[in-house]
Structure 1
Amino acid sequence: MDVTLLYFADCPNWKVADGHLAEVARELPDVTITRQLVSTPEDAARVGFHGSPSILVDGVDVFAQPEDDPGGRVGLSCRVYQTPDGPAGSPTLSQLRAVMTRG
């Protein structure tokens, strides 16, 4: 499984997501994590970046919302995730584990 963490440097939340991804990857030997810096609005448009952090599993944004369609709003902003504890800047460890162990 290929997991890509898309982020931009000014968003602190990507580091939380990165730590959670690393923890889940230790449990799943077939996971490869790639970090991809998105640094310009042009980069954001090219990759369909809906905010930092964005997590792609085998090329699919696993937390995409209906408004995140390819023609939707993209740009350099921090992303908000709905978690069991309310809105947060990163998915929880449990949410990541759930999407990475589907199948």
Structure 2
Amino acid sequence: MGAELLTIPECPHAAAAQQLFERALRLAGISGMVHLVVDSEEEAASLGFHGSPTFQIDGQDLFPALGDPALSCRIYPAPDGPRSLPDLESLRTAIQEKLKGR
């Protein structure tokens, strides 16, 4: 199983996203993740990258997005309005759902 965090160069949320993902993975009993920096439109298209940060398990986005892949910031829905990162519980739930589907 591979856990990947994908960000764009100089993403202002990369460090916080990495800490959040590592915590959520640890709570799910998973150790280790890879942090990839996506720096071209071609790479974004080949990875199905829909903005930074993107959280993936086995190459599949934990929060599937519609639209074309792009080198841009990403917004996650939250009860109190859009945010640049998902909350811990949403990320944990997405990880668990992905693990069930394996």
User: TM (normalized to structure 1)?
Assistant: 0.81
2:7 is equivalent to residue 7 of structure 1: yes
The alpha carbon displacement at 1:3 in A equals 1.4
Aligned-pair CA distance for 1:81: 0.6
User: In structure 2, what is the Cα distance between the partners aligned to 1:18 and 1:30?
Assistant: 14
Equivalences for residues 14-93 of structure 1 within 5 A: 14-65=14-65, 67=66, 72-93=67-88
Match of 2:90 in 1: 95
Question: Size of the alignment, in residue pairs?
Answer: 98
Using the aligned pairs only, state the percent identity: 36
Taking the aligned partners of 2:83 and 2:62, their CA distance within structure 1 comes to 16
- Report how far residue 87 of structure 1 moved: 0.3
Question: Do the aligned partners of 1:14 and 1:90 also contact (CA within 8 Å) in 2?
Answer: no
Distance 2:79 2:2 in 1: 26
Consecutive unaligned residues of structure 2, counting only runs of 5 or more, are: none
Aligned-pair Cα RMSD in Å? 1.7
Query: Taking structure 1 as reference, are residues 15 and 33 closer, same or farther at Cα in structure 2, changes over 3 Å only?
Result: same
Instruction: In structure 1, give the amino acid aligned to 2:68.
Output: R
2:28 touches 2:92 (CA, 8 Å); kept in 1? no
Q: Are the equivalent residues in 2 in contact too, given 1:7–1:37 (CA < 8 A)?
A: yes
